[in-house]
Structures are given as structure tokens and as C-alpha cells.
A and B are shown apart, each in its own frame.
Chain A
């Protein structure tokens, strides 16, 4: 049942773009080595995912006050000028 609950949250986060940050493991209190290994591996995996993406959203805002990720902002800036003018209104 726990598996179902965790799967549910994992799939919801994956849909949102926060995949791979929730991990479920069953470890007995007698399996200390396994515990260490699981924690170390997962910590490494999270480190590889990079800094918290949600923190990036408290960065500078654009003119209209809405925060847009850097990658998407660049793409938008390449649009023809009339489209940009409409956006700034």
C-alpha cells in the first residue's frame, strides 16, 4: 500500500517536472550497511540533479512581473518585434 502511495506521489511529481526526487526503500534496523549504501547513492543522485530548481524561481523577474525560466525567456526574446510589444502590454 505504501508502494502505491509513493508511486502516486512520484508520478505526480514527474508530471510536474520534479522527477526522481522521491525514493522508497525497505530497510530493517539490522541492515546498517544497506542503509548507508542507499543513503549515499541517493544523495549522490540528488547532487547530480543539480541545485533546487524551485530556488531559481526567486530570481529576477521580467518586465511584466512574471517569472519565466531563463531558457524559455531566451526563446521568447527571439520572436519578431511586434509579438514582444504585445507581451509587454
Chain B
């Protein structure tokens, strides 16, 4: 893998390569370039997960002509598909080195390089929602209990926007969660459960089940479980599998086709 990356950099197949490097004992995302090609010897894969494609998105936005190579697990691949569909990245500028992936509901077979997720503590199991459950596991609770368990989880939210910031497919310049007329900015706690439900609905057709949101959440809200349910609904109701195909159309919650056409500005003057 190291030899391949070096060859890519030397031949100019890519201008820079995003991977991981051990920095003071932590595997961190690192950008390898041709000028310092010996650094590629320190390229590792490891068990760490970051949204490398998000870094690529920011680089592409600033310099669209740069060719970027990156390490891609399956979750990264799915995220790249979604970013290509939404025109955030140019598929011709991206080259990937595929590595082992983690298991997910959106993909059947996975070689695991993901650390075992933590089991929920005793109190959380009593009154909250277990992060490692699957969506169908929550069927065993009846409606009022489900509500109180989810509300227990949501009320811990401190509106750090970690979930939104780390999400590889979140790219909106004007995020609804920061819109002053929708969400009371500058005050804590956020309005629950609507804050998380808004995010969940926006994740329809975009979430590719990488789990970084749940990893980022400082108070351990089972976000991945919630968005897995959203994905399930999208697959069942809309027949759309997010991230499976880089050539499908973007998911439109308005339906199969948007038939309304924008009115010409002249009409407003009448």
C-alpha cells in the first residue's frame, strides 16, 4: 500500500494523499505530499476512523483542480458516492485505496477493523436507549416507554453540533440547525425532540451509516441507531438505498420528480 501511494504521488496521479499517521501516539488524518515523500513510510491504516472525504470536500472547494487520493473503507466509499451525487466532489479528481471495512446494516458483509462498541451502562439500560441495539429491537417497548427513553437520551444534548460537524455528507452552507428562526441559537438546551428529529429527517437519503456522529457525541446519544431507522424507512418507503451507487439521482423527499418549475421573475411584477 505504501509503495502504491508513493508511486501515485511521484507519477502525479494524485497531488496529495489523505491517510493516517501516528502523531504523538494517536493515529490522525494526515496529508501526504510528493515533496515529503519519505513521510509515506509512516502511513498506517489502524482502527481509527475519520471523515477523510469531508477533508477532501473542503480541499476541493478551495482548489477544485487538485487531485486527491485517500484511504477508503466501505463507509468512506458510500460517503464518496453520496458526495459525487450531490456534486460536492468530482469523481475524476478522487482516487481511493480500499481498506478493510466495518459491518453496517447498509452493507451485508464486512471485515471488521472497528473496535467493539461499548455496551451501555446499567442506568442507561434502565431508562435510556442502548446504542448497540438494532432498530427492530426497540419494538419491545410500548409507545410511552419509547418516548421516555428517547427523551432521556435527547435531553442530554448540549448542542455541540459535533454530529453535524463530523458528518461526511453534511455540507449545507446554511444549516437548518443554526438558522435563528428555526432553532434558538445561543441558548441551551436545544428544543427536544424536535432538534434531533429535524436532523434525522435531513439525514434521509444522505446518511451512509458511518457511525461518526455517535462517536463524536459527548453525551452518548444513540444517533447511529436513529439514523439507521431513518435509512430503513427510506429503503422501505422510497426504495432508495443511500450510497450504494454513485450514478443514481440525489434523493428527493419531494418524490420521484419535482414537477414544479421555477416561475420567471416577470410574473412577480404583475
Contact = CB atoms under 8 A, between A and B. Distances in A.
B97 interface: no
Nearest to B148: A69
A18 B126 contact: no
Interface stretch (B71-79, B109-117, B249-257): B249-257
Nearest to B191: A54
A9 B201 CA distance: 8
B147 A16 contact: yes
Interface string A59-74: 0000000111101110
B155 A87 contact: no
A81 interface: no
Given A12-B201, A68-B127, A75-B126, 5 more contacts: A1-B256, A17-B143, A72-B149, A76-B126, A79-B126
Contacts of B126: 72, 75-76, 79
Contacts of B135: 15
B237 A4 contact: yes
Candidate in A17, A69, A86 with the most chain B CB atoms within 10 angstroms: A17
Where chain B touches its partner, the secondary structure class is: helix
Size range of the chain A interface in the assembly? 20 to 34
B156 interface: yes
B146 A16 contact: yes
Given A15-B135, A72-B145, A1 B233 contact: no
17 contacts: A1-B255, A8-B201, A8-B204, A11-B233, A14-B143, A18-B143, A57-B155, A66-B152, A66-B155, A66-B156, A67-B152, A68-B148, A71-B144, A71-B148, A73-B127, A76-B123, A76-B126
Interface in A1-41: 1-2, 4-5, 7-9, 11-12, 14-19
Contact of B145 (A5, A7, A15, A17): A17
